[in-house]
Amino acid sequence: MPNMNKLRRSPHVVALAYNGLCTFEFGIAYEVFGLPRPEMGDDWYRFSVAAVEPGPLMAGGGLTVSVQGGLDLLETADLIVVPGWKAIDAPVPEALSQALLEARLRGAPLASLCSGVAVLAATGLLDGRRATTHWRYLDRLAAAYPHIKLETDVLYVDEGDLLTAAGSAAGIDLCLHIVRKDFGAEAANSVARRLVLPAHREGGQAQFVRAPVAKERTGAKIGPLIDWMRSELASDMPLAALADRAGMSLRNFQRRFEAATGTTVGEWLIRERLRYAQELLEKGQIFSLDDIAAASGFGTLATMRHHFRKRLKTSPGAYRRMFALDLQSAP
């Protein structure tokens, strides 16, 4: 996707509406791209709704929706959002598929939230490309479209021109990711604060935690330890020392930590260190790359580069050039 900071006109986002509209996913698209945000300036997103079929439309929750625009709005869209679909195996009108193909040929990126991936799949655009959807739909989607390279346990997938989100709430993560790419980290952080959400979760994070609420006795020990670990990311954290700090045997500690967080200690530390390194990089050139590697707990720049390339498909330097506010605004 282009960096919208470099565009002179306000980018036009068009969300689809249809009979059986998924109201939660549609609300996500409107909240992020359509809600008036005067603090963002005059070049913030313009938002329109395009009806897929004649109205009035019936939406989830017994709502009736009246939409003024039709598929012709896709001709001027800079981004098209498919906010869920009627069902993962519901047919997609030929007129919609053709309009999306023409928009993609013109250069407009397409983004789907949750079951909206079914619409993109029906166009054939996802063949040979990476994509995701809610974990409940993966098997049916794979059977219907075997040429899609499905990512089975991620929050979202960004293929540049085609973006797909997993479960409903992951749609928020994808939309914030788009804001982050278009307007930079500070804008994404501002939108996230108004949503009372963390500003960034990387797309490769798992869709769900097997045990999101730890048992009271476990949480009483693991919770404070996690808080301490976040505050001491630069420190070495051998498993034996962490287990001792939690007052558990090593084996019991590893089992309880995974039960409470849904991942291993090592994986959790990598994610947290990446998150903190990203925050420091977004502050611009205040800190050197070596200092950031040390402060985030990676130790060496080479190690930090390795994890950035493996997890984020970029380098620390490239990440800073893309998202640091002072570098984005430089002439």
How many other C-beta atoms can be found within 10 angstroms of the C-beta atom of residue 5?
14
- 16 φ, ψ to 5°? -85, 150
Report the topology of domain 267-328: Arc Repressor Mutant, subunit A (1.10.10)
- 56 φ, ψ to 5°? -70, 150
Tell me, what's the pLDDT at 202? Answer: 54
Burial bucket for residue 36 (CB in 10 Å: 0-12, 13-18, 19+):
exposed
Please give the CATH architecture assigned to the domain spanning 4-195: 3-Layer(aba) Sandwich (3.40)
DSSP-derived secondary structure for 193-245: HHHTS-S---TTS-S--SSSS--HHHHHHHHHHHHHHHHTTTS---HHHHHHH
Tell me, what's the pLDDT at 321? Answer: 84
0.75 exceeded by pTM:
no
- 111 φ, ψ to 5°? -125, 135
Length of the chain: 331
Indicate the angle between helix axes 250-261 and 239-246, nearest 10 degrees.
Answer: 80
Question: Using CA atoms, how far apart are residues 316 and 311, in angstroms rounded to an integer?
Answer: 11
Q: What are the 10-residue block averages of pLDDT along the chain, 331 residues in total?
A: 51 95 93 90 92 88 88 95 92 96 96 95 96 91 94 86 88 90 82 70 47 41 86 93 92 89 89 90 86 95 94 87 61 42
What Rg do the C-alpha atoms of the chain give, in angstroms? 21
Q: Which pair of structure tokens corresponds to residue 220?
A: 């009483």
Tell me, what's the pLDDT at 194? Answer: 79
